[in-house]
Structure 1
């Protein structure tokens, strides 16, 4: 462990405070603007992952924050370095993820001159973060780091940016360390819980919807116990399906992209909607169509750790300012009489979910991504972590793969492309003994595919699946709806992704038929190397229940 005297550099004090706060992993692209920090990290005991692009470093840190509930940490250099990393900051903001990004800054003596790579970080990141600050006084480094941890995790979690002038990092300070932070948990009041009990007593057709962050294994267990005691149906919001076991008989499905229409109808017909932890943003609200804004006709109970989020879009019938973990723990004390109609509704909803997800729909071409997702869910361990970014290929993940354990799906609710590869790196670093999958579209993968070099460098046996249909599929789908037959700026010319893997020193395989996938997957696992499995997808297979040609024909008929 790094020996730190009471008279140390500000950089050394910063790194020691990270260690005190339990930081085990840091992601960075090195920069001369924070060399003193790199030197302090060398002997700190903190694992440093050196990335190939700042966007990848930020996404890796965000993935750590998303899955652990404690701030993910990244260091990037000033100017182009930090602007490269901005995509990860935006993901952390929209996904309510605790994250702290430390960024180098020009020397204090040349600020405000537009010095080399100088940026005004407060102006650039002020609308994307919970707090952006620049360190002026090295004696306040401990204060700023401590505050950054509390700010990132309290209320609605989110990103914090701390700018570090190069000369300030090198100055010596004589300051004491701060104790480790503990996230501030808000608990529901007895009056609010009693009101919830009354609402449930009157409800004929209630539905619980789980979302947001600040959950835990224990919280997940508590909501399962409450659902079993009451027979209430439970749904999850967009990319939060790991909050409830999909094979539990009370699970109704997820309100994400391409959801089961029967679930959407159930949500609209509910006479009481209990939203736990989430915001019911544009995707889970189905374009803000589930409820009227600002005053829903459905009775809405909104439980959220950030008071500023309650009433922001929807005025709730009952507002409960509490973190999900404290709220679901309090449900144990709530006296609710189960109603046979609730259980009947839950049974029907679960049957609809199984019917919607059990069997892959027929697809054009020789590779059926739905069948591959079903094969994976039946053949990989339940603690396998699947990471993905954005693209139409994710529709098959949402519909056919089943996430049986907590935080085994790591994907951005902001639908940011390029996320699947960096997130998989972070997860394999965090969980070296688990199987980690990265599922990507072709355009999606090449936004951060260079991070595959890290998997080889650090010997991380990630299995990467690249779904190659030779286009930006989501944009092409919308293009065919609005400008049928007029293809523009959506075609891609791709490399041989299996050869790409071998060029880095990994394993590569190509799949031209669905039946080829099991053998390719087995060979990838047996190799022990980072692997890429290249799926050749028919361009017409655009969604599980639609084809590109069908979308075009309907658009032309309506024109």
Structure 2
């Protein structure tokens, strides 16, 4: 090999920053980077994906799971625009990610050249930072900034465009030698005292936990503080894995389909300690749970990004600090108050949510999720995309401290399977179960080919009810009996799985699930189980017919 070009320099910098894996679809616009990756096999490997959207989902999930930037490599134009769904998801999830996009030559910019896109303009609204490297010698500088930006403050995605001629140029600067260690912001002793005093003065305090940047240690110390202080904890939408659901202080999640017991705990509280939460639409019941801009409750908002403080609600105490680190500082001195009955009531409200009616149809998901609660190992990772089916892992699975959930706050369909593959890439020794709807699964079903090629072996449960369930639910509520654009004709999912080398089975009765799942978990090549779900079982507590009758009554009134 001759002199090292910009593609080699970029790869060497990524290795120095600590990168181990990347996900992508090849393109001629970044051939120099692919050439650089030729020499790093076993140290920095590219997972070859089938679609840029799937690759970006894998990178976003990898970042969420590991806390290190998930790397994605795509070509210009169509490749970048396909990948935008993963960038949007990483931003809403507060997950670190870097998307590298091959770009046209610098000499042909602003001529609407073949596949030309202005990536700063295109990704600016949905990324934490979007930039382009104009000169090869700036690769180390910009990669260091991109990595640091992705992991610091509120973690998020960074987009870096790589002009083809820049990558082919010969640099005159050395590669990075290390990553920058960022010390997160921390609360002062005075602020901690103010927070403890406010908690002690409350009668019905609640801890609302969420956001990116949490570590296992931070979660454990928050649990220690909450249990010692006897304060109920509610987690934000799709962050229920960040707190031990078995703790007597765990009181449920604030998310889509928020159940009355959780709403009541939040609305009756007189103090909310929000740790890492960005107050999204789902966590606030579409901004109806709390008065705007001043909550009736005392609000203590702790966030690693100063841009989140006062963004939606005006806090009584605003703390610019890492939520993870703040939890560890709190744990050193619990707070006592007369709220034992309050905490007990909050927990009982959560426990009551598991009292579900029998589900109509061939396979009863209430029994399936109960089986998974009892039998999945303590280090299992669950993934899901978006749809009504997601209520099962997001409401009715109890996550222990060693289990993880990868699910998109953006509500993006098709995330579950790529996330499961990324989880297996990060932790091949851990059991990974993807729960997907039939429509959701088909958004990225081709990524089974990625799993087959790299030997990733997740178990995929497809809840097959032949419809886009969430849209059908709203359709029946607002336009009852006028079904349009929501029915699905599906392939033989078991046969499709077999074509990709997976174990595939169709499960047509609830009583057959346990044995089928055992076979799936034992499969050395991964597995897909096609669960036959009745369309009537549209939600855990309301059938399609009941929803339609409600819709008919409302449209008549």
Is this a same-fold pair by TM over 0.5?
yes
**SS of the residue aligned with 2:349?**
helix
Aligned length: 552
User: After alignment, is 261-270 or 50-59 more displaced?
Assistant: 261-270
**Structure 2 equivalent of residue 254 of structure 1:** 253
Q: Could you tell me how far 1:137 is from its partner in structure 2?
A: 0.7
In 2: Cα distance, 1:399 partner to 1:242 partner: 11
Q: RMSD value over aligned CA atoms? A: 1.4
**SS of the residue aligned with 1:300?**
strand
Equivalent residues of 2:98, 2:147 under 8 A apart? yes
In 2: Cα distance, 1:59 partner to 1:558 partner: 39
In 1: Cα distance, 2:182 partner to 2:214 partner: 12
**SS of the residue aligned with 1:501?**
helix
Q: Could you tell me how far 1:355 is from its partner in structure 2?
A: 2.4
User: After alignment, is 387-396 or 321-330 more displaced?
Assistant: 321-330
Is 1:493 aligned to 2:489, yes or no?
Answer: yes
Q: Could you tell me how far 1:407 is from its partner in structure 2?
A: 5.7
Where do 1:109-128 residues align within 5 Å?
Answer: 109-128=107-126
Q: Could you tell me how far 1:176 is from its partner in structure 2?
A: 2.5
Where do 1:350-499 residues align within 5 Å?
Answer: 350-357=347-354, 359-406=355-402, 408-499=404-495
In 1: Cα distance, 2:523 partner to 2:298 partner: 54
**SS of the residue aligned with 2:538?**
strand
TM-score normalised by length of structure 2: 0.97
Equivalent residues of 2:356, 2:541 under 8 A apart? no
**Structure 1 equivalent of residue 97 of structure 2:** 99
Residues 198-230 of structure 1: per-residue CA shift (max 9 Å, x gap): 211210110001100110011011101111221
Where do 1:299-310 residues align within 5 Å?
Answer: 299-310=298-309
Q: Could you tell me how far 1:335 is from its partner in structure 2?
A: 5.8
**Structure 2 equivalent of residue 140 of structure 1:** 138
**SS of the residue aligned with 1:460?**
coil
In 2: Cα distance, 1:66 partner to 1:90 partner: 13
Equivalent residues of 1:360, 1:400 under 8 A apart? no
**SS of the residue aligned with 1:286?**
coil
Is 1:328 aligned to 2:327, yes or no?
Answer: yes
Q: Could you tell me how far 1:82 is from its partner in structure 2?
A: 0.6
Q: Could you tell me how far 1:181 is from its partner in structure 2?
A: 2.3
In 2: Cα distance, 1:183 partner to 1:360 partner: 46
In 1: Cα distance, 2:402 partner to 2:89 partner: 20
**Structure 1 equivalent of residue 293 of structure 2:** 294
Is 1:543 aligned to 2:539, yes or no?
Answer: yes
In 1: Cα distance, 2:403 partner to 2:189 partner: 30
Where do 1:214-293 residues align within 5 Å?
Answer: 214-293=213-292
In 2: Cα distance, 1:396 partner to 1:122 partner: 39
Q: Could you tell me how far 1:241 is from its partner in structure 2?
A: 0.8
Q: Could you tell me how far 1:552 is from its partner in structure 2?
A: 0.7
Q: Could you tell me how far 1:314 is from its partner in structure 2?
A: 0.4
**Structure 1 equivalent of residue 310 of structure 2:** 311
In 2: Cα distance, 1:484 partner to 1:332 partner: 52
Extract unaligned runs of 5+ from structure 1: none
4+ long deviations beyond 2 Å: 176-179, 181-184, 332-336, 341-344
Q: Could you tell me how far 1:352 is from its partner in structure 2?
A: 2.3
**SS of the residue aligned with 1:402?**
coil
Q: Could you tell me how far 1:329 is from its partner in structure 2?
A: 1.6
Where do 1:518-533 residues align within 5 Å?
Answer: 518-533=514-529
**Structure 2 equivalent of residue 47 of structure 1:** 45
Q: Could you tell me how far 1:343 is from its partner in structure 2?
A: 2.4
**SS of the residue aligned with 2:290?**
coil
In 2: Cα distance, 1:324 partner to 1:416 partner: 26
Equivalent residues of 2:222, 2:331 under 8 A apart? no
Equivalent residues of 1:34, 1:166 under 8 A apart? yes
Extract unaligned runs of 5+ from structure 2: none
User: After alignment, is 448-457 or 54-63 more displaced?
Assistant: 448-457
**Structure 2 equivalent of residue 181 of structure 1:** 180
In 2: Cα distance, 1:347 partner to 1:183 partner: 40
**SS of the residue aligned with 1:229?**
helix
Is 1:502 aligned to 2:501, yes or no?
Answer: no
Q: Could you tell me how far 1:177 is from its partner in structure 2?
A: 2.9
